Amino acid sequence: MKEKILICGNGPGLPGALKGKRLEKFKIVRVNDWIDVCGNGPCDIWAFFPYHQIGEQNEVYDFTPYLKNAREIWMPHWGFGIECKRITGRMPNYLITKEQTENFHNILGWNHPTSGAVVVYMATLLDAIVYIAGFDFYEGEIAYPNGQPIKKIVEIDHKPEKEKAWFETEIKKGRIVKL
């Protein structure tokens, strides 16, 4: 039987998507600096971009709960395995390769996807059933449940329409299941 991996994005829709669900059947992946408004739910795997520092004053970026509880670390940025070890004291269990990164960029037609999209792509490369929740593609007025405005995030880096199109294609192919 294939493993079931649930990747929890950072979108404000995550609490509603998880409400009432039986999460124990999933290996749960948390992305970046999600502050769990669902009651500090499970985190089997933690995937992050390595700009964090342990013990930062800003609680939005305090990843120590995930580091303490996660059995695995995934690194969705191919050149940062050593940086992960420096910051967390642990090497990543799963590190995307340069070739996989370039392949995903080619698929998207964009070379700066969100960490969440890269983590979902990484999961699709495994022999597992991949579920997603909390991927809202910056639709609405806030990016995260902490109230950060969408405009600030999208204008800086990302093209959520490209990621959304890829997600929809993968869902139609049955490679991703929306929870």
Domain ranges of the chain: 3-178
Tokens coding 148: 């950060």
Question: What pLDDT is stored for residue 6 in this prediction?
Answer: 96
Report the C-alpha gap between 88 and 86 in whole angstroms: 6
The amino acid occupying position 112 is H
Is beta strand 27-31 parallel, antiparallel or unpaired with respect to 45-47?
parallel
**Residue 7, φ and ψ in degrees, nearest 5:** -100, 120
More confidently predicted of 63 and 71 = 71
How sure is the predictor about 69, in pLDDT bands with cuts at 50, 70 and 90?
confident
Averaged pLDDT for residues 59-75: 74
Cβ atoms 28, 44 nearer than 8 A: yes
pLDDT 10s digits, 135-178: 988 776 655 555 555 555 555 577 888 999 999 999 999 999 99
Report the C-alpha gap between 33 and 46 in whole angstroms: 9
- Beta-carbon contacts of 29 under 8 Å, excluding residues fewer than 6 positions away, are 5, 6, 7, 8, 43, 44, 45, 46, 47, 74, 119, 123
Query: If you ran DSSP here, which 8-state letter would residue 71 be given?
Result: S
Q: 29 pairs with which residues across the strands?
A: 7, 45
Report the C-alpha gap between 44 and 143 in whole angstroms: 24
Least confident of 42-56, 99-113, 141-155: 141-155
Tokens coding 128: 């597992």
Class of domain 3-178: alpha beta
pLDDT 10s digits, 21-38: 999 999 999 886 655 554
Instruction: Please provide the average confidence, as pLDDT, over all residues in the chain.
Output: 82
